Structure 1
């Protein structure tokens, strides 16, 4: 049997286990525990990431042709409703009297708490996927073309306006300015101070945040022009089979005071509030995805193998560093040779 063992040892020229792995020590046990701990931690993180998925954002050419779209607004203008004229005109010169679908309610002008007044609206964060799914409660205005108390000091304008999905603008002006009208508002009665509770495009989701929501402008000038320019991007949110098809828009603004011609005593422009919009030919898709299950298993195997290899390298580096600092005798203290395997058992029997 002794001769057989020697032959087998001679034949096994490439040991499958490194010698340092056949020795027990406190440092080796600690390194194993740390390796197991980090392995379980990584496993927990990866499983959580797999269950939660990841958010994929893609820009695609918008191949859906929409014949119409809605502008949703809820705002207060510091002028009586009977003085105001609302109109939509797009690049095709198609005009739509927005007053036929919007609601006009006479109230007193006030600034709701928490509104941003006279600040530039140049910052807006795109809502994340979870926020959109939680707040995507679709709604519609219950009234169309409703008018009440039009002689009050201010006008509450709210509702949805159907428009073509082309470049255009929505205008709020005073009667007698820019359009022929039976009445003419005196210059001293003009006041285009306003607060905006809601301004969005597409389906009406009242709880989603938009750049113009909770903003406003207050002025003491009678001949004030406020211009808002929107770049509208159709956006599709998708999670667990649920879809929210909406839009988001970037915003720039400009405002200035119209001068009066000293000869004609008429303003050289049309004071009012202007919302210009332009639809981008792209669509943003924000979708939650998960990697395939087999790919997830392969990823776990790759991470486990890399962790074991890295732990072995770090342990050997640590052992060599101890040898350099304290000597080999210090490192050998507390080590116990691990016995096991066919060759070790046969060799011990032969010595007995």
Structure 2
């Protein structure tokens, strides 16, 4: 019996007797109002508990040494496929030249008014450089004897190995190494015999375009990928293109283009449409992985250079109910300028540099960091329960204070009336 007084002394929930309780109409109104507010807050807490947020984390990319896929789909309405060359250069000194035959498909656009109407190129372009010039030139004689290299390679008697330019492609590459103008191969027997001259002349006169679609790999360092006219040659300290055919026609050719698709890394998730399902909570969107899709550059200028400066960062999306997606996000700055330089037409205080070659250049810079976007629920179960309790307690506390204030005011008014 001695413990009972001690427990009574620490009771934080003291009670009043039933006869001391007074119920008022204002108290009933405040009680109903408190119930409505409590139900509203509980509903908000539940919605918050069930909502999904995207939590980004920045870490060092441990796969920085692995090659990176770049997925391209680009249309040139005013450039035949035979004239375009695709090269990749990076700061390490590595160069991948004329890679359109490796992992790419080329589509002829026979109707310039409708660039979407295209047919796959059914013949291999002689511009492709799938094997080296020396490998092709030292094959020896064929059915037509030892083809002439027209002075581009030594063919003197007794010279070992003896070079033979037996096809049009070999002659073209020999000319490119010598930095000689090849034009369209006119008066070169191999090109005339293979029908290349008549074929390319016909396609130029028909104002054909070209759509290039495929995937290639780049090193995860700074560099550039560019489309330019004519065969290319890379030597220490220089990279040049044969512009003879491009410059031959004043009224044809320009690098107006439509970027149908550009992305880095695996692109299967884009086809399946399962990227970033709930990341709209924090402003993310699928455009962060393909911001250039649908971009059109149509200035109708022949001697013009288009540049895209890309900042690429590896990204992983971890979902609650779907497989993890590894991709890459990138930002882009677009720029174009005339090769002659001079003042900008729209901003007279801006001076463009002079020089360069016509084409489309993608300058990329790969970040050594990686972003991990992880989906998770906004609240845990314990957080939800704590939020509900806090909401109920807070509303009841405020309701009690409001009820006491109203009761005190009513009591004071009643006393003044009695006087």
**Normalising by structure 1, what TM-score?**
0.70
Give the counterpart of 1:303 among 391, 396, 399: 391
Gaps of 5+ in 2: 1-8, 126-198, 233-238, 274-285, 342-353
Distance in 2, matches of 1:147 and 1:254, equals 33
Cα deviation code 1:57-103 (max 9, x no counterpart): 22222233351111111111121111111111122122224312221
Question: 1:79: which partner in 2?
Answer: 79
1:195 corresponds to:
258
Q: CA deviation at 1:14?
A: 8.5
* SS in structure 1 of the partner of residue 313 of structure 2: strand
Asked if 2 retains the 8 angstrom alpha-carbon contact of 1:76 and 1:109, the reply is no
Corresponding position of 2:99: 98
Relative to structure 1, the CA distance from residue 35 to residue 331 in structure 2 (aligned partners, 3 Å threshold; closer, same or farther) is: farther
Number of residue pairs aligned between Structure 1 and Structure 2: 286
Cα distance change of structure 1 residues 154 and 12 upon mapping to structure 2, 3 Å threshold:
closer
With over 3 angstroms needed to count, the CA separation of the structure-2 counterparts of 1:297 and 1:226, relative to structure 1, is: same
1:159 aligns with 2:222: no
Written as runs of structure 1 = structure 2, the 5 A alignment for 1:76-155 is 76-77=75-76, 78-96=78-96, 97-100=98-101, 101-107=103-109, 108-110=111-113, 151=203, 153-155=208-210
Aligned to 1:30, the other structure's residue is in SS state helix
Q: Deviations over 1:96-141 (max 9, x none)?
A: 243122211110345789xxxxxxxxxxxxxxxxxxxxxxxxxxxx
CA distance in 2, matches of 1:110, 1:302: 67
Alpha-carbon separation, structure 2, partners of 1:84 and 1:168:
20
1:1-52 deviation digits (Å, cap 9, x = unpaired): xxxxxxxxxx999982579993222221121122112112211221222122
Alpha-carbon distance change, 24 to 166 in structure 1, aligned in 2, over 3 angstroms = same
Supply the distance in 2 between the matched residues of 1:144 and 1:45 (Cα, whole angstroms): 59
What is the rounded CA distance, in whole Å, between the counterparts of 1:15 and 1:279 in structure 2? 64
Structure 1: gaps of 5 or more residues: 1-10, 114-142, 261-266, 333-352
Counterpart of 1:277?
A: 364
Give, in angstroms, the shift of residue 276 of structure 1: 0.7
Equivalent residue of 1:24, what SS?
coil
Task: State the distance in 2 between where 1:311 and 1:165 align.
Answer: 63
- Partner of 2:258, secondary structure, is strand
Matched-pair contact (CA < 8 Å) for 1:70–1:162 = yes
Q: Is the 8 A contact 2:84 2:227 kept in 1?
A: yes
Quote the Cα distance in structure 2 between the aligned partners of 1:14 and 1:71. 69
Residue in structure 1 matched with residue 168 of structure 2 by the alignment? none
Q: Is the 8 A contact 1:105 1:147 kept in 2?
A: no
The CA distance in 1 between the partners of 2:260 and 2:14, in whole Å, is: 72
Q: 1:111, 1:282 → 2: CA distance?
A: 42
Distance change >3 Å, CA 322–CA 226, structure 1 → 2: farther
Contact 2:80 2:210 in 1 (8 A): yes
Distance 1:63 1:303, change over 3 A: farther
User: Could you tell me which of 278, 293, 312 is aligned with 2:381?
Assistant: 293
Aligned to 1:221: 301
In the other structure, the counterpart of 1:245 is 326
1:13–1:200 distance in 2 versus 1, CA, 3 Å: closer
Q: What is the aligned-residue RMSD (CA, Å)?
A: 3.6
In structure 1, C-alpha distance between the alignment counterparts of 2:375 and 2:80, rounded to whole Å? 48
Mapped pair 1:50 → 2:49: yes
Residues 268/30 of structure 1: CA separation in 2 closer, same or farther (3 Å cut) = same
Are the structure 2 counterparts of residues 28 and 80 from structure 1 closer, same or farther at C-alpha, using a change threshold of 3 Å?
same
TM-superposed deviation, 1:144: 12
Picking from 172, 175, 180, the partner of 2:230 is 175
- Work out the CA distance in 2 between the residues paired with 1:328 and 1:146: 103
CA positional deviation for 1:316: 3.0
Structure 2 Cα separation of the partners of residues 331 and 293 of structure 1: 54
